[in-house]
Structure formats: structure tokens, C-alpha cells
């Protein structure tokens, strides 16, 4: 369907990005999956071509573009494979915190390298004992002179191995009530004393996306690396979650579109009982039903993107999109794998990878159960 917020310039950008990915990503993607990592060289190539954080102001090295360019990058990366999610996280989830809450000195120091690909970013909220319950995090940051002494552990961190800058949620005040008022955000640099990376986590899917544990043992983080104000971290996180969840919903939708596309091609060519299995009514009905639901999801997403670009508060609607479309993605994956028959269970078929990768989208960026509690609250049901 037509994306009304996109202009001719946007489409030229999409064509350029698509050609780049066909050359620099598609031929190597299965190798990256096997190696369980996307090489840093790919990030540098993205940066060199202007595909990292293009919305940043020209003053800091960006192109000062609108969110439509981010939508294009998210869509084209997802068409290649879901393991490129770390790029979208860097572009549209982590770096926006620095852009929105960083002071001029922080922006001048970090943003140019985030744009060039020299710096890869991550955000660390989840802990072994605190996921959705963000107010219950245990990582502390105690101010001592011109440093914070940070202790704690984070887990399931996207870009955890490659990251040069990590925004971490910490407790700078452990006594204040309610507890969320004691949360602050610190930017931890890769060579920080006391900061180390645990193991790269072995996941069911997203194999080439580097997910890791991060460990802080009396880590010395300069006070100048405080992002925004002390005690405002929870509010900053809540403010940015609308875009994060919109990004995840869009990724799940594009993955669903790709799964129906590859399955449609497969059933046209696969023969059984003297004709293509795409000629069987059951196959047709299954794909028609999935295509219809995906089209509904696309219509909803397009409306939300436009409203988000207009600066509207659409937390309830984005939460709806996040849970419904990621659940739809899992349904699409299951049905499409079934239509592939035994071949769908083979690693060399794209549907097998998509089936693995889509599962986590209903978990990260806030579980779908949490999405429903947010919707209920916005409906006045609490």
C-alpha cells in the first residue's frame, strides 16, 4: 500500500539502501548466521553510506531527516533478515536517548561516531531478576567525587558484544519511594574500568545478532556521563518506549510480509498429486487469511507512523500494534512452515530461520502481556 508520508527523495534513498544491502549484506547473511555475529566492517559501511542515524542534526554530522527514513531502513534491513535488528536498535532506540537528553558536549563527543559506525550502541535495562518490572532493578550507581561507582549485572543486551557505548539504567537513589524515582541513565564507554562482558548468549533465533551479559564490578563511570538529570531515568525510558515498540511492530509486520511472499512462491512451484500445492483450496484459504490480516496490520502501522511523526501520544495504539502484530507474526510463521511441509523444517529454507527469529518479538521491548496491561490502564480499567 502507498506510504503517504514518503516522498520521491525517500524512495531514492530506499533504492540506494536496497542496492547497498544486495551487495553488502544478502550474500553474506548466512555466513554471519553461522558465525553468530555481524562483522563491525558492515557497520562502518552502513555509516559511510549515510544509513546510520540520518535524523541527527547536521551540526553533529547527521542529515536532519524525518522518521520516514528510519522506516525505510527498518523495512529494508528486516527484508534481509531479523538478525540485523541491532542496527535498528542503534538507530532508532538507543541513539535517540543521546539526541534527546544528552548535553552539547556529550552529543559532540558521541554522535558523530554513532553516525559513522565507529561507535555501536546498546541499552541495558533488563537484569537477571528484573525484566518488565523496571523499578525493581538492582544495579546501583553511587557517586564518589567525579565518578559513579556502578555495581550490578545486565542480561539479554542487544549489541552487547560489539557495543562501544551502553546506556544503562541504574539506581542512583535506593531509598526513595516510589522506587522508580531513583532510576537514572548513565552512558558507559567500552574501556571503562570495572566494566566487562559476560558470555555471548546462545539464542534460539537471531543467531548473528550479538546478545550478551554485561557485568559491572565497581565500574568507574564519570559523572559527566550522566544522561539528563539524576532520578529522571524512568521518565526518559517511558518517553522513548513509544518509538521502540513501534519499531518492533514494524519489524514483525515486514517479517510476516516476507514469510507470506516466500511461501506463496514455494506453493506455486511445489508439486503434489499432479499439481502445485498452491492450487489446493486449503493452501489458498490459509494464505488468503494470512495476507488479509497482514494487510490490516499494515494499514494500522501506517496510520501510527504518521501520527508518531506528528508528535502525537499514541502509547495505547502502539501497545496494541506491538502485541497484535508480533502475535500475528508467530501465527504466520507457524502456518507458512506447515505449508512448506518437511522442507520448512530444513535450515536451508528461509522460513525455518524466520520461524525461529519471530518468536522473541513478542517478548522484548515489553512482553505482550505488559502491552495488554498498558492498554487496560489507558482504557481506565485499572
Phi/psi of residue 334, each to 5°? -65, -45
Residue 361 DSSP one-character state? G
Residue 153 bears catalytic tag: no
Residue 36 DSSP one-character state? T
Over 54-108, what HEC string results? CCCCHHHCCCCCCHHHHHHHHHHHHHHCHHHHHHHHHHHHHHHHHHHHCCHHHHH
Among 78, 230, 244, 258, the active-site one is: 244
Q: CA–CA separation, 294 vs 288, rounded Å?
A: 10
Q: Cell numbers at residue 290, please?
A: 494470512
Cβ-Cβ contacts under 8 Å for 127 (sequence gap 6 or more):
137, 138, 139, 152, 153, 154, 155
CA-based Rg of the chain, rounded to a whole angstrom? 21
Beta strands 147-158; 183-189: pairing state: unpaired
Q: Are 167 and 157 in contact (CB under 8 A)?
A: no
Q: CA–CA separation, 179 vs 168, rounded Å?
A: 16
Give me the active site residues, please: 244
Amino acid at each position: 500500500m502507498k506510504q503517504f508520508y514518503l516522498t520521491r527523495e525517500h524512495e531514492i534513498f530506499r533504492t540506494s539502501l536496497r542496492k547497498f544491502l544486495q551487495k553488502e549484506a544478502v550474500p553474506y547473511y548466512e555466513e554471519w548466521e553461522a558465525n553468530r555475529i555481524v562483522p563491525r566492517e558492515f557497520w562502518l559501511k552502513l555509516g559511510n553510506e549515510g544509513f546510520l542515524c540520518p535524523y541527527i542534526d547536521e551540526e553533529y554530522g547527521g542529515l536532519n531527516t524525518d522518521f520516514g527514513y528510519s522506516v525505510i531502513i527498518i523495512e529494508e534491513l528486516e527484508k534481509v533478515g531479523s538478525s540485523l535488528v541491532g542496527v535498528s536498535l542503534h538507530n532508532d532506540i538507543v541513539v535517540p536517548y543521546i539526541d534527546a537528553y544528552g548535553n552539547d558536549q556529550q552529543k559532540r563527543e558521541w554522535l558523530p561516531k554513532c553516525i559513522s559506525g565507529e561507535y555501536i550502541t546498546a541499552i541495558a535495562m533488563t537484569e537477571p531478576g528484573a525484566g518488565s518490572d523496571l523499578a525493581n532493578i538492582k544495579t546501583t550507581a553511587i557517586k564518589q567525587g567525579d565518578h559513579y561507582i556502578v555495581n550490578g549485572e545486565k542480561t539479554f543486551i542487544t549489541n552487547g558484544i560489539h557495543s562501544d557505548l551502553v546506556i544503562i539504567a541504574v539506581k542512583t537513589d535506593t531509598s526513595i519511594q516510589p522506587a522508580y524515582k531513583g532510576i537514572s541513565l548513565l552512558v558507559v564507554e567500552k574501556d571503562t574500568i570495572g566494566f566487562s562482558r559476560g558470555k555471548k548468549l546462545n539464542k534460539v533465533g537471531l543467531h548473528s545478532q550479538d546478545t550478551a551479559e554485561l557485568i559491572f564490578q565497581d565500574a568507574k563511570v564519570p559523572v559527566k556521563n550522566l544522561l539528563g538529570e539524576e532520578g529522571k531515568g524512568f521518565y526518559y525510558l517511558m518517553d522513548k518506549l513509544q518509538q521502540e515498540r513501534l519499531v518492533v511492530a514494524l519489524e514483525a509486520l515486514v517479517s510476516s510480509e516476507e514469510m507470506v511472499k516466500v511461501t506463496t512462491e514455494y506453493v506455486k512451484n511445489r508439486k503434489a498429486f499432479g499439481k502445485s500445492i498452491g492450487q489446493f483450496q486449503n493452501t489458498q484459504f490459509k494464505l488468503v487469511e494470512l495476507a488479509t490480516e497482514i494487510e490490516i496490520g499494515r494499514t494500522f502501522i501506517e496510520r501510527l507512523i504518521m501520527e508518531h511523526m506528528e508528535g502525537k501520544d499514541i502509547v495505547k495504539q502502539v501497545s496494541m500494534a506491538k502485541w497484535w502484530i508480533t502475535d500475528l507474526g508467530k501465527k504466520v510463521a507457524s502456518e507458512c512452515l506447515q505449508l512448506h511441509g518437511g522442507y520448512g523444517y530444513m535450515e536451508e529454507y528461509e522460513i525455518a530461520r524466520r520461524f525461529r527469529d519471530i518468536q522473541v518479538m513478542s517478548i522484548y521491548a515489553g512482553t505482550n502481556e505488559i502491552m495488554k496491561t498498558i492498554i487496560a490502564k489507558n482504557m481506565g480499567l485499572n
